[in-house]
C-alpha cells in the first residue's frame, strides 16, 4: 500500500474516533431534554468563527468568497445536502435511539457512497473488478454491524426504529453526496479548510429555517448545557474530525476504490462509540453477538486497507 494511501486510511480512522463523540454527546443532550433543533444548528454556528480564523490566517477568505459567488447555487444546494440533511436527521434520531444503534446504522454510508458513485463520477471506466472487491469488503463490515445490533434491535418497537433508523439512512446518503459534489464543484481549487468553511456558511439558511421551526412549532430554546455540549461536538467532530476526513477523501479523490476504503474507515465509529458508552456512560460489556460483529468489522477494514 502506497504511503499516501496509508495516510488516508489512518486519517479516516482518526476522524472516526473523533466523529464517535457526536453520537455519545447527542444522546446525552437528548436524554437531558435538549431539542434536536439546537443540538444540530448550534454545532455549525460554533464552527464558523473557528474556520473563519483558520482560513483568514491562511489568506484564503478572498478566494473562497470568489468561488462561492461563481457557483452560489451549487454551493447552497450541496452544502445543505452535505451538512444540513446529514446532521439534522442524526440529531433528530438521537431522541429515539441509543448511540450504539445510531453509530451502527450510520455505517450504511459505506455502501451509500458506492451506490452514488455511478451518478456522480463522469468517468465510468474505473476498474470494475476492484470496485467489486471493495463492495465485498464493505459488505463484510455491514454484516458485522448487523450482527452487533441483533440482540439490541429485538428490544426496539417499530415506531422507535422508524424514527431512529430512517433519518440516519437519509444522513448516510446525504453526507457522501454533498462531500463528493462539492469536491467536483471546487475541483481542487480550495483547500480542506476553505471548503468546510464555505459549506458551513452556505448551510446557514437551512439552520435558520430549522431554528424557526424550533421556536414556532416546538417552542423551545437551547438549554444551558447544550451550549457547552454542542461546542464540544463542534470542536472534536465538526472541526478536527471533519477536517481529517475531508483531507482523507481529498487525497483519494479520483480513485473510487481508494475513496471507498477511506469512507469504510467510518465503520470503526461503532467500536469507538461502544467503548465510549462503556467507559463514559457505564453501559454493560458487549455480548457474544457484538464481539463477533466487531471482529467482522475489523476484518473488513483490514481487507480494505491491504487491498487499497
Per-residue model confidence as pLDDT tens digits over 130-148: 567 777 877 887 788 778 7
Sign of the Cα torsion 268, 139, 294, 284 reads positive
Residue span of the structural domain in which 31 resides:
3-306
> pTM of the predicted model, to two decimals?
0.81
Cα–Cα dist 135/154, whole Å: 27
What count of other Cβ atoms lies within 10 Å of the Cβ of residue 77? Answer: 16
The predicted structure's pLDDT at residue 307: 63
pLDDT(125) > 50: no
Taking 80 as the threshold, does the pLDDT of residue 233 lie above it?
yes
Interval 286-299 mean pLDDT: 79
- Please give the Cα distance from 94 to 36 (Å, whole number): 8
The count of structural domains within the chain is 1
- 18 pLDDT exceeds 70? yes
Amino acid at each position: 500500500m502506497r504511503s499516501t494511501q496509508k495516510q488516508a486510511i489512518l486519517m479516516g480512522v482518526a476522524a472516526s474516533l473523533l466523529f464517535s463523540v457526536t453520537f455519545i454527546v447527542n444522546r446525552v443532550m437528548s436524554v437531558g431534554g435538549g431539542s434536536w433543533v439546537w443540538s444540530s444548528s448550534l454545532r455549525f454556528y460554533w464552527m464558523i468563527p473557528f474556520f473563519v480564523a483558520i482560513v483568514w490566517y491562511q489568506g484564503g477568505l478572498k478566494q473562497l468568497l470568489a468561488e462561492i459567488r461563481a457557483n452560489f447555487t451549487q454551493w447552497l444546494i450541496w452544502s445543505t445536502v452535505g451538512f444540513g440533511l446529514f446532521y439534522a436527521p442524526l440529531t433528530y434520531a438521537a431522541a429515539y435511539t441509543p448511540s450504539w444503534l445510531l453509530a451502527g446504522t450510520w455505517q450504511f454510508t459505506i455502501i451509500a457512497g458506492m451506490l452514488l458513485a455511478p451518478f456522480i463520477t463522469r468517468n465510468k471506466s474505473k476498474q470494475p473488478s476492484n470496485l467489486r472487491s471493495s463492495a465485498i469488503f464493505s459488505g463484510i463490515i455491514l454484516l458485522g454491524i448487523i450482527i452487533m445490533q441483533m440482540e439490541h434491535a429485538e428490544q426496539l418497537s417499530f415506531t422507535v426504529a422508524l424514527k431512529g433508523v430512517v433519518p440516519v439512512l437519509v444522513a448516510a446518503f446525504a453526507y457522501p453526496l454533498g462531500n463528493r459534489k462539492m469536491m467536483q464543484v471546487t475541483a481542487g481549487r480550495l483547500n480542506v479548510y476553505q471548503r468546510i468553511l464555505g459549506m458551513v456558511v452556505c448551510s446557514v439558511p437551512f439552520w435558520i429555517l430549522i431554528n424557526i421551526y424550533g421556536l414556532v412549532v416546538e417552542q423551545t430554546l437551547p438549554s444551558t448545557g447544550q451550549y457547552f455540549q454542542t461546542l464540544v461536538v463542534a470542536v472534536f467532530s465538526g472541526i478536527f474530525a471533519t477536517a481529517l476526513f475531508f483531507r482523507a477523501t481529498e487525497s483519494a479523490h479520483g480513485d473510487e476504490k481508494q475513496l471507498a476504503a477511506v469512507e469504510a474507515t467510518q465503520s470503526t465509529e461503532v467500536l469507538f462509540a461502544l467503548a465510549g458508552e462503556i467507559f463514559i456512560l457505564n453501559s454493560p460489556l458487549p455480548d457474544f453477538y457484538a464481539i463477533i460483529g466487531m471482529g467482522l468489522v475489523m476484518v473488513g477494514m483490514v481487507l480494505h486497507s491491504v487491498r487499497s
